[in-house]
A = this chain, B = another copy of it.
């Protein structure tokens, strides 16, 4: 049974705090193993990548050249896919691309009242690596969501790595990569793939940034190489928070809560409502849905272990609870969803009104489905075009403007004991030492 809280309970604060600080992620400490694999890849390059790949993915590749997935393999994979599914992928890709184009930032420059010319300029990150998990959790939609923003930003080279345990790969993953124009695909995974992307090998030239989700080894390896290359957020377990009044169909809300729960036994689904009877109806609808859903084991485990129903006296109490939970996904299934959204500060994405189920955002709406999990929406944002560009500051002074603001710089440099700093300004202004 999911935990049930009510803001009317005298111990609500402590119960809510327990919910907030509940640990869902059993982060295994694989740091030493990941570090050793990275070090081998850094020192021995292709040989190490080949050995680890054959060992962990039970393959028998003979040389580094065969790590790359060939054009004909990709073409064959595309041919294996259903036409209708490929059409749906196309619809998704076009909508995701349109949304991410809107996010491209503008350059800016201005001359201020002292005659100083200032500005900034955005340029694409040139080489981007995309990690795609193999096996069962391989999602073509994730390929679109990670690759399209990089492409829109203008990456010159987009490299994908995806392990093929026992030689198996989801053909839709290769079709999605083909659709968005990934330049190179390698059949490697784990910390060895992160090492190859970060340090480069003769076969796999290094990239500048690595994005995409992975298992504990991948996450640990990403933490290690952070600084050598850029990385995206390290994703924790996923969650949905649904705020719903009793004017919703309980079966709809139940489906929404389960759509999160079916991802993972450590996913979390929370309902905030002001109607106890409605909450009970949602619970019954969940039980009913679970009788038919293929992933009912996972969904049921997540819902009973980490699910929660929070009963509020009035829905006006919701925004402050939402901000503390800082959910990855927030559905506002209420009459005036805009008004409530305006009171919320911390959420990865907000799904407004009764006809915006979270799953529409996972696939085709357009915004990125890579969103901050596990309360990190307090300080971070979903993946976007901005993650694939960087900003260069631009400054230009002339003798006159340097004459105006230079003396303050000289003063501060001397106060900090950095006399060469002072000298480099003063020497241009004939300010004596």
**A contacts, CB < 8 Å to B:** 82, 84-85, 87-89, 91-92, 95, 98-99, 102-103, 105, 108, 110, 112, 116-118, 120, 123-126, 136, 139-141, 172, 208-209, 223, 226-227, 229-230, 233-234, 236, 249, 251-252, 255-256, 258-259, 261-263, 289, 292-295, 299, 337, 341, 344-368, 371-372, 374, 376-382, 384, 386, 390-399, 401-402, 405-409, 411-413, 415-425, 427-428, 433
Contact = CB atoms under 8 A, between A and B. Distances in A.
Contact of A363 (B226, B345, B365, B412): B412
Contacts of A390: 346, 372, 377-381
A245 B345 CA distance: 52
A428 B365 contact: no
A248 B377 CA distance: 50
A230 B294 contact: no
B367 A118 contact: yes
A360 B397 contact: yes
Given A227-B236, A259-B421, A353-B398, 9 more contacts: A85-B415, A102-B110, A125-B378, A141-B416, A295-B419, A360-B397, A364-B412, A372-B390, A381-B391
Contacts of A379: 125, 208-209, 229-230, 390
21 contacts: A85-B411, A85-B412, A105-B105, A118-B367, A124-B345, A126-B346, A141-B416, A223-B226, A261-B420, A262-B419, A263-B418, A295-B419, A337-B396, A348-B393, A349-B392, A351-B395, A355-B397, A355-B399, A355-B402, A362-B421, A378-B390
A67 to B, nearest CB: 24
A394 B341 contact: yes
A415 B102 contact: no
Contact of A255 (B99, B345, B424): B424
B348 A420 contact: no
Given A355-B399, A359-B421, A292 B433 contact: yes
Contacts of A347: 392
A5 B233 CA distance: 39
A378 B208 contact: yes
A431 to B, nearest CB: 12
Contacts of A88: 407-409, 411-412, 415
Count the copies: 2
A329 to B, nearest CB: 10
Contacts of A417: 136, 294-295
Contacts of A397: 353, 355-356, 360, 365
Most buried by B among A82, A376, A433: A376
Contacts of A126: 345-346, 378
A424 B92 contact: no
Q: What are the 9 tightest A-B residue pairs by CB atom distance, in nearest-first order?
A: A230-B379, A349-B393, A367-B393, A255-B424, A352-B396, A359-B421, A88-B411, A381-B391, A88-B408
Contact of A423 (B110, B255, B394): B255
Contacts of A421: 259, 262, 359, 362-363
